[in-house]
C-alpha cells in the first residue's frame, strides 16, 4: 500500500471540491431549465472519482457512466468544455451531440459514456485486448453502478477478462441504490464484489468516502493490473445524495448520516486540519478559488452558442462514400 504525501492529500481535497462545485452548480442551472436533458450528479461520491482519476494515467482509458462527471473533469478535460457539452452547446466536448451522459475526450483517456447501463463492461474489453496484443502496458477502466451487476454483460465481461487475463479495471460504485431499489433488495449480497469470486479475478472493497483509503486502493489496483496479472474489480462503498427521480424514497436519518457524518469532503477537511497539513484559512482560500473557477466555466458554457442545425447529419458515417448513391437526399424540413 502506498502512503500519500501531504501534497497529494491536499490536491485530492481540491479535486473533490472541484467536482462538488461543478455538479452543484450544474444542479442549479438544471433547475433553471438551462440543461436540455437529464442530469445525474455524483454529489457525495467525490472521493471515489478523485481516487480513480488520480490512480489512472493519461495513457490509460476509462468509460464513464451517467454519474461520472467527476472523473471526466479530473482526468483533465477543460471544465468549460464539459459544461458546454452538458448544456448542449456547439463547443462542448462532443459538440452537443452527447450531453451529460455521453462525455468523451480521447485526449485524456475518456472513452465516452454509454448509458445503456453496464454495456460498457463489454466495450472495455476492447482497448484492454488491443493493448495486451500490442504489448502496451495500459489499463482500461470502466465505471459501473451497483444496479448494473444484474446485466448479462457483467458476466460476459468478467468471463472474457478472466480467460484472456486482460488489463481491465472494474470500478464498481456501490452507492446502495439503483434508482429506488436498494442493493439488498436486488442482489444476493450487498457486497457485490463477492459475485466476482468465481471468475478468479482479484477483488477489493473500500470505503469510497475515505479519500486516502480509496486512493490507495485504486493505486494498488492499477499497479496490480499494470504488472500484467490481469483484471481487478474494486468496489467503492459510497452514497449518492441525488436521486434519479424525485419519487425515490429514502430514510431521512440515512440521508442525514451520509450528508453529515460520512461526507467525503468534510472527512478530508477534518483529517487535513487535525493532522496539521494546512491551516483553515488556506482551505477557505482553496474553496473560494474553486468556486470562482467553476463559476467561470459555467459562464462560458451559458454564453456558448448552440450547435448549428445544419450539422445535425454530420458524423453519422465515418466513411461517407458509402452514401454516394443515395438519391433521396436527407432533407431538413424545418
Partner 1 sequence: MGRKTTVQSLNEALHLVMEAHPEVYCLGEDIGKMGGDFSVTRGLYAKFGAERVRDTPLSESAIIGAAVGSAMVGMRPVAEIMIADFTSTCYDQIVNNAAKMYYMFNGQFKAPIVIRTATGGGFGGGPHHSQSVEGWFMNVPGLVIVAPSNPYDAKGLLISSILDDNPILFLEHKGLYALKGEVPDEFYTVPIGQAAVTRPGKDITVVTSMKMVHEALAAAETLAGEGIELEVIDLRTLRPWDQKTVLDSVRKTKRAIVAMEAPRTGGPASEVSAVISEMLFSTLVAPVQRIGALDAPIPMAPVLENAILPERRDIIKAAQELMAYR
Ligand X SMILES: Cc1ncc(C[n+]2csc(CCOP(=O)(O)OP(=O)(O)O)c2C)c(N)n1
Stretch of 5-13, 85-93, 154-162, 177-185 lying at the interface with ligand X (CB under 6 A):
177-185
Assess 129 for contact with ligand X (CB under 6 A). no
Told to check if 74 binds ligand X by CB under 6 A, we report: no
Q: How many residues bind partner 1 (CB under 8 A)?
A: 50
Nearest distance from C-beta of residue 103 to partner 1, angstroms:
9
Question: Which residue in the shown chain puts its C-beta closest to Mg ion?
Answer: 145
C-alpha span between 231 and 166 (Å, rounded): 6
Task: Give the contacts of 12 (CB within 8 A, at least 6 positions apart).
Answer: 4, 47, 50, 51, 54, 211, 215, 268
Question: Grid coordinates in use for 16?
Answer: 473533490
From residue 43 to residue 72, the character string flagging contacts with ligand X as x (rule: CB under 6 A) and all else as - is -----------------------xx-----
CB closer to Mg ion, 127 vs 147: 147
Residue 316 sits in the site that holds partner 1 (CB under 8 A) = yes
For residue 235, the SS3 value is strand
Q: Hey, which residues between 162 and 201 contact partner 1 (CB under 8 A)?
A: 163
What is the four-CA torsion angle of 14, 110, 151, 177, rounded to 10 degrees?
20
Q: How far is the CB of 143 from ligand X (least distance, A)?
A: 9
Q: Output the smallest distance, CB 281 to ligand X, in A.
A: 36
Name the grid cell of 271: 483529517
Out of 3, 7, 32, 133, the residue judged to bind partner 1 by CB under 8 A: 133
- Which entry of ligand X, Mg ion, partner 1, none binds 97, CB below 5 to 8 A by partner kind? partner 1
Residue whose C-alpha cell reads 436533458 in the numeric block: 37
Residues 176, 192: Cα–Cα separation, whole Å: 10
Q: Residue 228 binds which one of partner 1, Mg ion, ligand X, none, with CB within 5 to 8 A depending on kind?
A: none
Q: Which is nearer to partner 1, 102 or 291 (CB)?
A: 102
Contacts of 68 (CB under 8 A, 6+ apart): 42, 49, 103, 113, 143
Q: How far is CA 275 from CA 1, 209, 271, in A?
A: 20, 18, 6
Q: Are 104 and 65 in contact (CB under 8 A)?
A: no
325 binds, among ligand X, partner 1, Mg ion, none (CB under 5 to 8 A by kind): partner 1
What is the DSSP code (8-state) at residue 192? G
Residue 32 near which of Mg ion, partner 1, ligand X, none (CB within 5-8 Å, type-dependent): none
Q: Does the footprint of partner 1 cover residue 64 (CB under 8 A)?
A: no
Spatial distance between the Cα atoms of 43 and 16, rounded to a whole number of angstroms: 10
The C-alpha cell 451522459 sits at 101
C-alpha distances (whole Å) from 12 to each of 50, 67, 215, 247, 286 are 6, 19, 9, 33, 12
Which chain residues interact with partner 1 by CB under 8 A?
Answer: 61, 93-95, 97-98, 102, 104-106, 111-112, 114, 116, 119-131, 133, 140, 152-153, 156-157, 159-160, 163, 314-319, 321-328
Which chain residues interact with ligand X by CB under 6 A?
Answer: 66-67, 115-118, 145-148, 175, 177-179, 240, 244
Amino acid at each position: 500500500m502506498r502512503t500519500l504525501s501531504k501534497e497529494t492529500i491536499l490536491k485530492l481535497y481540491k479535486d473533490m471540491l472541484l467536482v462538488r462545485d461543478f455538479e452543484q452548480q450544474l444542479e442549479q442551472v438544471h433547475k433553471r431549465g438551462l440543461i436540455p436533458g437529464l442530469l445525474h450528479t455524483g454529489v457525495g461520491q467525490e472521493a471515489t472519482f478523485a481516487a480513480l482519476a488520480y490512480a489512472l494515467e493519461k495513457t490509460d482509458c476509462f468509460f464513464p457512466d451517467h454519474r461520472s462527471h467527476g472523473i471526466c473533469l479530473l482526468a483533465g478535460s477543460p471544465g468549460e468544455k464539459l459544461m458546454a457539452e452538458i448544456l448542449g452547446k456547439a463547443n462542448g466536448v462532443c459538440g452537443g451531440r452527447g450531453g451529460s451522459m455521453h462525455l468523451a475526450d480521447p485526449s485524456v483517456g475518456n472513452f465516452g459514456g454509454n448509458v445503456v447501463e453496464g454495456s460498457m463492461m463489454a466495450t472495455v474489453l476492447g482497448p484492454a485486448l488491443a493493448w495486451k496484443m500490442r504489448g502496451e502496458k495500459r489499463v482500461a477502466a470502466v465505471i459501473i453502478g451497483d444496479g448494473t451487476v444484474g446485466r448479462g454483460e457483467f458476466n460476459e465481461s468478467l468471463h472474457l477478462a478472466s480467460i484472456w487475463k486482460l488489463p481491465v479495471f472494474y470500478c464498481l460504485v456501490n452507492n446502495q441504490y439503483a434508482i429506488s431499489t436498494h442493493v439488498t433488495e436486488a442482489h444476493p449480497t450487498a457486497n457485490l464484489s463477492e459475485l466476482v469470486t468465481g471468475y478468479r479475478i482479484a477483488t477489493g472493497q473500500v470505503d469510497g468516502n475515505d479519500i486516502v483509503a480509496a486512493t490507495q486502493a485504486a493505486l494498488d489496483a492499477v499497479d496490480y493490473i499494470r504488472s500484467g496479472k490481469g483484471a481487478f474489480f474494486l468496489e467503492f462503498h459510497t452514497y449518492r445524495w441525488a436521486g434519479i427521480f424525485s419519487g425515490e424514497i429514502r430514510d431521512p436519518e440515512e440521508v442525514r448520516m451520509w450528508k453529515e457524518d460520512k461526507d467525503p469532503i468534510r472527512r478530508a477537511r477534518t483529517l487535513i486540519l487535525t493532522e496539521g497539513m494546512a491551516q483553515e484559512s488556506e482551505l477557505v482560500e482553496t474553496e473560494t478559488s474553486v468556486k470562482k473557477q467553476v463559476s467561470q466555466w459555467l459562464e462560458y458554457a451559458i454564453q456558448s452558442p448552440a450547435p448549428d442545425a445544419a450539422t445535425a447529419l454530420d458524423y453519422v458515417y465515418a466513411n461517407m462514400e458509402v452514401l454516394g448513391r443515395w438519391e433521396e437526399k436527407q432533407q431538413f424540413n424545418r
